[in-house]
Amino acid sequence: MEHCIFCKITNGEIPSAKVYEDEHVYAFLDISQVTKGHTLVIPKIHKENIFELDAEMAGPLFQSVKKVADALQSAFSPKGLNLLNNNGETAGQTVFHYHIHLIPRYGSEDGFH
């Protein structure tokens, strides 16, 4: 997709802080860190939302989410971790290339107890 910022990130046109990459998936730090280590996991091919995502991609994508979750746990030792995925403008989606947020939680310092 020509004008998609996340496609530009996966193909290197826009720089990003890479966390993980494999054949199907790219993971990078969110530019606006809700908490330390806030990461986005995306499919390399452009799919707008979960409804467009091929069912066969769901497995590899979630396996990557698991790897990134473990890496964030080892790196930052958060007390918890939120997985978040907004689908559609009404649901809060602002970038229309499918992505899963991983948001480490540290307790009172980030407002979650």
Active site residues: 99
Neighbouring-strand partners of residue 100:
41
Residues 62-91 that bind Zn ion (CB under 5 A): none
* x/- map, 21-50, ligand 5GP, by CB under 6 A: -------xxxxx------------------
Assess contact for 95 and 86: CB atoms under 8 A: no
> Does residue 93 interact with ligand 5GP by CB under 6 A?
yes
> Does residue 47 interact with Zn ion by CB under 5 A?
no
- Residue 63: which region, alpha, beta or left (left: phi > 0; alpha: psi -120 to 50)? alpha
Residue 75 neighbours by CB under 8 Å, 6+ apart: 37
Q: Which of 92, 107, 109, 111 binds ligand 5GP (CB under 6 A)?
A: 92
Is 50 strand, coil or helix? coil
> Does residue 16 interact with ligand 5GP by CB under 6 A?
yes
Neighbouring-strand partners of residue 81:
104
**Would you tell me which residues interact with ligand 5GP (CB under 6 A)?**
5, 14, 16, 28-32, 86, 92-95
**Would you tell me which residues interact with Zn ion (CB under 5 A)?**
1, 4, 6-7, 46, 97
